[in-house]
Structure 1
Amino acid sequence: MSKRIVKVYPFFERLWHWLQMALIVILMLTGFSLNGQLGLVPFGPAVVFHTLAAGLLLMLWIFATFWLFTTGTWKQFIPRIEGMIETARFYALGIFKGEKHPYRKVYFRKHNPLQAATYFVLKWFIFPAIWISGLFYLTYALWEGGENAGFWIVVVANIHVLAAYVVACFVVAHVYLLTVGHGFRHHVQPMVTGYEEVDLTTEQEAYLEANEPNRLKPRGVPAE
């Protein structure tokens, strides 16, 4: 293995990340205003902006899902047991003692075991729960005459709010972890430039140099 500065985050992945972040912030502000937790946005505009942001985010997820499967990037989000305990221990204790992160980032796996497991749950369970319940909520006028509709709208609303709180907790934890270790700038920079230092095998390095040299920074050149 050799360490090289490699473009591991293509343009679409970075665009997807930042658009998703902006839309989730809008949804949180308007959603909590609708729920009575915040009073930052009046009810009427909150409904409009919440619905618009939700629609845009849903379209973004559809495109992102297509991209994940067509590029094979979905494999990055498959959790694995190996290294899970060591990584969890690092975030729970080692990070406060200045220990070195137990996970070595490699070219073919950008996320550590804990990240992969978290993203897996979010992308395949929490996010679908939000948009499915949101669609049922938005189309309530079409099924409000059904049997026990009053009961089911309460169930839908609670699922939607619970999933939203899970996402809010993830956002808080995500931002917090960006501030520890090497610092906020170090963690955010790869999602801006696309470049990050990873371990490459001799074969991977030779392949990139021969076929995708634009993805490799020359040795000694920083990621910026």
Structure 2
Amino acid sequence: MERIYIFKRFERFWHWSQALLIILMMATGFEIHGTYTLLGFGKASQLHTNAAWVLIALWVFAIFWHFTTGEWRQYIPTTDNLLAMMRYYLSGIFTHAPHPFRLTQLRKHNPLQRMAYLGVKLLINPLIWISGLVYLYYNDLNAAGYEVELGTIALFHTIGAFLMLAFFVVHVYIITTGHTWSSHLKAMITGWEEIEDTK
């Protein structure tokens, strides 16, 4: 095995902070929708809103970091090796086929990951944030003369939340698909990824 330093300190901080905030927002969101009662509607709603503002601030800082460091290039979608990656995740992973993508510091994400992250950044996140902010400022928007249908906004926010939940579940599953079940997890904790030495 070869060890490569892939994930910088800020990337790991951003990843884990974002993960904790999203988990908190999913948990409080389900309570707000009446799935269960733990904190009560008022406390869950306030915690959900506070977590959302913290996550927005984190994303603004992360966007700044990505553009100033050039790391935004890691998310440019590509179709190179896309079919090989799809075959690997559909069948090759179960037959111990060699991984068709080799990580480097300049290529941290395989083509499927890039497509998934693009979908999150261009579809799921805007859907959640726009609907969430409209929902949060619903009374102010109506007072200003904008007629907003609350049920529609809530539906869009819920759709976005379930899309994020689906992404989260797949993301957690993919973590376990390294050469050991915990190797990708360790890489996101330490920054060092162990990859097969093909020399």
Same-fold status (TM-score > 0.5) = yes
Structure 2 distance, partners of 1:124, 1:143, is 24
The amino acid that maps onto 1:127 is N
Query: How do 1:32-43 and structure 2 match up within 5 A?
Result: 32-43=30-41
**Structure 2 CA distance, aligned partners of 1:156 and 1:71?**
36
2:157 is the alignment partner of 1:160 = yes
Amino acid at match of 2:36: L
Contact in 1 for aligned 2:183/2:193 (Cα 8 Å): no
Which protein has the larger Cα radius of gyration, Structure 1 or Structure 2?
Answer: 1
Q: What is the TM-score of this pair, normalised by structure 2?
A: 0.91
Q: Report SS of the residue matched to 1:5.
A: strand
Unaligned runs of 5+ in 1: 200-224
Q: TM-score, normalised by structure 1?
A: 0.81
User: Gaps (5+ residues) in structure 2?
Assistant: none
Deviation at 1:37, TM superposition (A): 2.6
1:189 is paired with a residue whose SS is helix
Deviation at 1:25, TM superposition (A): 0.5
Q: Distance in 1 between matches of 2:11 and 2:146?
A: 43
Tell whether the 8 Å contact from 1:107 to 1:198 is kept in structure 2 after alignment.
no
What per-residue deviation string (whole Å, max 9, x for no partner) do you get for residues 166-213 of structure 1? 1101111111122234233211111111122469xxxxxxxxxxxxxx
CA distance in 2, matches of 1:74, 1:18: 18
CA distance in 2, matches of 1:154, 1:172: 27
Are 2:87 and 1:95 equivalent residues in the alignment? no
Question: Deviation string for 1:140-166 (max 9, x for gaps)?
Answer: 1101243543x2x22221111111101
- Give CA-to-partner distance per residue, 1:87-136, whole Å, 9 cap, x none: 01111111122222111112311100000110111123211221121111
Contact 1:29 1:40 in 2 (8 A): no
| Residues 47-99 of structure 1: per-residue CA shift (max 9 Å, x gap) | 11101100100100000011111111011011101111110111111112222
Picking from 187, 192, 195, the partner of 1:195 is 192
The amino acid that maps onto 2:84 is E
Identify the residue that residue 136 of structure 2 maps to in structure 1.
138
Aligned partners of 2:35, 2:92: CA distance in 1, in Å?
Answer: 35
Give the corresponding residue for 1:183: 180
Return the offset for 1:4: 5.0
The answer for the alignment partner of 1:75 in structure 2 is 73
1:54 aligns with 2:52: yes
Q: Cα gap change, 1:161/1:98 in structure 2, threshold over 3 Å: closer, same or farther?
A: same
Greater shift, 39-48 or 166-175, is seen at: 39-48
Asked if the contact 2:6/2:104 (under 8 Å) is kept, the reply is no
Count of aligned pairs between the two proteins: 196
What is the alpha-carbon distance in structure 2 between the residues aligned to residue 111 and residue 96 of structure 1? 21
Amino acid at match of 2:176: T
Structure 1 CA distance, aligned partners of 2:3 and 2:27? 37
Matched-pair identity in %: 43
